[in-house]
Chains A and B, each alone.
Chain A
Amino acid sequence: MKIDTIDTTKLDKVAEVMGGVAERRRAQGEAMYYDLLANCFRKVQRVKEEGKYLVAHTIFIPTEFLFAMDIVPFYLEGMCEIMARVHGLEESFSAAKSKGFASELCSGHRLVDAMAIQGWMPRPDAFVWSNLVCDLTTKTGDFLEKLYDRPGFYLDRPYKNTEEGMQYYIRELEELVHFLENLTGRKMDWDRLSEVMEDTRRSTEVFREICELRKAVPSPMRNQHMIEMIMTQILMSGSPELVTFYEAIRDQVKEAVEKGEGIVPEERYRLLTLFYYPAYLWKLLNAMQTEYGAVIVAEPHLSVWAEGEIDPAKPLESLARKAFALYDTGPLQPFVDRVLRQAEEYKADGTIYWAHIGCRQTCATIRIIKEVLMEKVGIPTLVIDCDLGDPTYASGESMKDKLEEFFELLDERK
């Protein structure tokens, strides 16, 4: 199977919709995130007319290399999910199923496959993928490379963070640079890369500030801000726009902390959340705040990007350290330690585990983490079976029901 024709109107529509959402949110001061998303799609729209290269990549690929070489990135999982939501999730899942992608597979990847199969995903000049965060990511890249008949590069991060593993991964990053140089016919401008890495350093610094500020009681940050921060981190790490976005959030959060104000008038529950929220349920995150006074104070899976030293003069080492900070791939114990630490530092009352049905590796850890949280810090965990991208698996109403019951449990423990 090969994709010969691309329907560019699908991408155009998404750029238009994102722009429209940004305009609607401007009055409430919430346009910035949607402006960034819209611009990402617009850059992809303009890539040929501007004579640039387009590289489609999976999650956590260092976009710093792409920005340094003036290559336009297309973040596969995130942007395909947005495209599918704009054009119809049901149709997209059906398309994936029609080509043998069973519903038991992670919906994030099924949507990437669906956008590709239908010829809605723009044709990139190359694909770059890795084993971050799972084996399905690995196979997605293989599939797309063949489907679009484009060159591809697989970035292999070792399982454990050892000196040998670090050196191996640095060599992998060097190979990726060579691949991009061969693709574009240009050499990497290492000075430019250092400039880009300075933005990465700065955004990491601001990210850390935000994470520290969130320890305040009452919680100063909206529930959905962290997922916005991670999405933009993956889309545009190494860009000045990311620094500006993080600084805007940091300033909001800092002001709230200085005034002693919480994001909700009456904070009733402080929650850790584990894994990713269902992408279609941001309204539930808001409802948790407004209806129940439930604030999310930390997300151990997501706030990991604040770890590792970023030295602009040593980009490969810095990016390698950043990659090894990710707990999705690697031994479990460091992650368990981090969860326990954050439960205490952020004074969590309880934990919600978004048990994404398509993710075997994280679901396998649920019981261990749940028991450890109860034994070591005495906080209960609500496990919500759900699907990251498929709303037919569990409805918002059923999740709200479970949350209500969990909040009753937390009330009884007070």
Chain B
Amino acid sequence: MLVAGLDMGSLTTKVVILEDNQVLSWRVKTAADEGEVQARRAIEDALKDTGFALQDIGYIVATGAGRKSVSFAHKQRAIGSCLAKGVNRLFPSVRTVIDVGAETCNVVRVNDKGALDDSMGNERCASGTGVFLEAMATRLLHMSLEEMAQRSLLAEGVAEISNMCAIFAEQEVISHVHREPPTPMNDIIAGIHASMATRVGGLAKRVGIKEDVAFTGGVAKNVGFARTLKESLGVELTIPEEPQLIAALGAACVARDESAKKS
């Protein structure tokens, strides 16, 4: 039986396709089209070379910010339950998931049945999300995210940067760059990561951190930030191989369960 999970994020669309409960295919596509079209293209792309077509998929679950735009999904689920299911499939011992995406930050508690126990998302602020790092890297520091991540690992100190607001943080970075003598770039980057880790960690503590802790979402690929977050929280972080796919994987698991109920 073929089922699919779609995570309609603000920057990317993720698809995971399961065949008889095994991952058949997956894709991460930058969001270039309007929701429904984007979803369809993402699935079709994921199905390329599999010999299957969209109509062969028995059950589709959509999650993420754009989930309501996917009219052909059989079901829409909020991100929290999909993250819980996705992580539980890969790491059954995980009890807390910290998911940082382009524009969202969600913390999810998973119970010992692998289901959602509690969740909270960031409110009204980009400073705990991927766009914050993106803006810092590309606009202010004129480097790629990968370079920024690597350089933070070489920092000897941590520049003091506001953790309250992305805009204020930008101003502080500029003042660090232009002061006499200028703050070392690696330290500025470490400060940016520390500021964001405080924000993300604060959200996690509101929900309550219970080990094991998984770190997912596109920002989990940032090795510099991941290290800073680990140090800030004082816990080991389990990072999946493709951390941005977890919600889509969870949505596919929901699709599998729903389709089993139907048959």
Contacts and interface: CB of A to CB of B under 8 A. Distances in A.
B160 interface: no
A405 B118 contact: no
B28 to A, nearest CB: 23
Closest 6 CB pairs of A and B: A405-B78, A412-B115, A409-B116, A408-B81, A405-B80, A385-B123
A380 B123 contact: no
A401 B116 CA distance: 15
A394 interface: yes
A212 interface: no
Contacts of B123: 385, 394
Contact of A405 (B79, B115, B124, B206): B79
Contacts of A385: 123
A376 interface: no
B117 interface: yes
Which interface class (under 10, 10 to 19, 20 to 34, 35 or more) fits B? 10 to 19
Contacts, number: 33
Contacts of A412: 81, 115-116
Interface in B168-200: none
B120 A383 contact: yes
Contacts of A383: 120
A298 B206 CA distance: 25
Interface in B52-86: 77-81
A408 B80 contact: yes
Contacts of B244: none
A413 B79 contact: no
B119 interface: yes
Contact of B116 (A393, A404, A408): A408
A211 B224 CA distance: 56
A405 B119 contact: yes
Contacts of A380: 117-118
A257 B39 CA distance: 47
Nearest to B79: A405
Contacts of B206: 367
Contacts of B81: 405, 408-409, 412
Interface in A184-201: none
A394 B120 CA distance: 14
A367 B117 CA distance: 15
26 contacts: A380-B118, A385-B123, A393-B124, A394-B123, A394-B124, A401-B78, A402-B121, A404-B78, A405-B78, A405-B79, A405-B80, A405-B119, A408-B77, A408-B78, A408-B80, A408-B116, A409-B81, A409-B115, A409-B116, A409-B117, A409-B118, A409-B119, A412-B81, A412-B115, A412-B116, A413-B115
B132 to A, nearest CB: 20
Interface in B94-118: 115-118
Interface in A361-412: 367, 380, 383, 385, 393-394, 401-402, 404-405, 408-409, 412
Contacts of B119: 405, 409
Interface string B243-259: 00000000000000000
B232 to A, nearest CB: 20
A323 to B, nearest CB: 33
A277 to B, nearest CB: 18
A138 to B, nearest CB: 29
Residue among A383, A401, A405 with the most chain B CB within 10 A?
A405
Nearest to B76: A404
Nearest to A394: B123
A193 B118 CA distance: 51
A171 B77 CA distance: 58
A404 B80 CA distance: 10
A260 B81 CA distance: 34
Contacts of B117: 380, 409
Contacts of B116: 405, 408-409, 412
Contacts of A404: 78
B80 A409 contact: yes
Interface string B115-137: 11111110110000000000000
B262 to A, nearest CB: 16
Contacts of B77: 408
Nearest to A398: B123
A224 B137 CA distance: 49
Residue among B78, B79, B80, B121 with the most chain A CB within 10 A?
B78
Contacts of A409: 80-81, 115-119
A123 B256 CA distance: 66
Nearest to A383: B120
B96 to A, nearest CB: 15
A362 to B, nearest CB: 16
Contacts of A402: 121
A393 B121 CA distance: 15
B170 to A, nearest CB: 22
A408 B79 CA distance: 10
A380 B119 CA distance: 10
Interface in A55-110: none
B45 to A, nearest CB: 28
B253 to A, nearest CB: 12
Contacts of A405: 78-81, 116, 119
A404 B116 CA distance: 13
A92 B111 CA distance: 45
